[in-house]
Amino acid sequence: MIKVSLSSIIEIISGGTPKTDIAEYWNGNIGWLSVTDFNNDNRYVYSSEKKITERAVKESNTKYLQSMFIKLCQNFIFSRKRSKF
């Protein structure tokens, strides 16, 4: 079996969710992907249920993703005891 680190084959980007209790961060015109956008068995997302503002991007750890990027997971924990890879 060949072992490689994920960072050697893909670019890993992490970010953060704008604070939901700051109303000025939400209902803007920038799409915000969340798990609800992927709960319909579709493999492609063309629009998001939630939108954020430019202020949210500037004042939080949120990152822009280019089109054609893949969002692999929102929260993920590796467990060596259970994983088989």
Consecutive H or E run containing 56: helix 54-59
What are 30-67's pLDDT values in tens digits? 988 877 777 777 667 788 899 999 999 999 998 887 76
Give percent of the chain with pLDDT exceeding 70.
73
**Residue 25 in 3-state DSSP?**
helix
Composition of the chain by helix, strand, coil, percent to 5? 20, 10, 70
Confidence of residue 81 (pLDDT cuts 50, 70, 90): very low
The pTM assigned to this predicted structure is 0.67
- Tell me the pLDDT tens digit for each residue of 7-33: 888 777 778 889 999 999 999 999 888
Q: How confident is the model at residue 74 (pLDDT cuts 50, 70, 90)?
A: low
Q: Domain ranges in the chain?
A: 18-72
